[in-house]
């Protein structure tokens, strides 16, 4: 009975940790989508208000760099938490 309790307790903590990691990853995936949508909004404003190609390119590049950096950051954090756990 004691062994069953110990195994059940360990399994419960492992499942809880997996859900925490999944929630963390999902939270940051939505952050990535928000970065991209922000860049698209910047592109739309520049395209509608003025015909400055430099502003359009800068908005797109900024959104892309921010989104890629966000994904790389999340990937390293996710990998680090998997190694520790």
pLDDT of the residue at 74: 74
**Tens-binned pLDDT, residue by residue, of the chain (85 aa):** 444 455 455 555 555 566 666 777 777 777 777 777 776 777 677 666 656 666 667 667 777 777 777 777 777 777 766 555 5
- Gap between the Cα atoms of 71 and 78, Å rounded: 10
- Gap between the Cα atoms of 26 and 57, Å rounded: 29
- Note whether residue 29 is domain-resident: yes
pLDDT of the residue at 13: 55
Contact 44, 36 (CB under 8 A): no
pLDDT of the residue at 18: 60
- Gap between the Cα atoms of 68 and 73, Å rounded: 9
- Note whether residue 4 is domain-resident: no
Domain of 51 in residue numbering reads as 23-84
- Note whether residue 12 is domain-resident: no
């Amino acid at each position: 009975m004691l062994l069953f309790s110990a195994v059940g307790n360990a399994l419960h903590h492992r499942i809880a940790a997996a859900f925490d990691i999944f929630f963390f990853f999902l939270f940051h995936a939505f952050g990535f989508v928000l970065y991209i949508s922000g860049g698209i909004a910047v592109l739309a404003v520049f395209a509608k208000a003025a015909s400055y190609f430099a502003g359009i390119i800068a908005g797109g590049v900024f959104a892309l760099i921010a989104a890629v950096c966000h994904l790389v950051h999340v990937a390293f954090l996710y990998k680090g938490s998997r190694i520790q756990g």
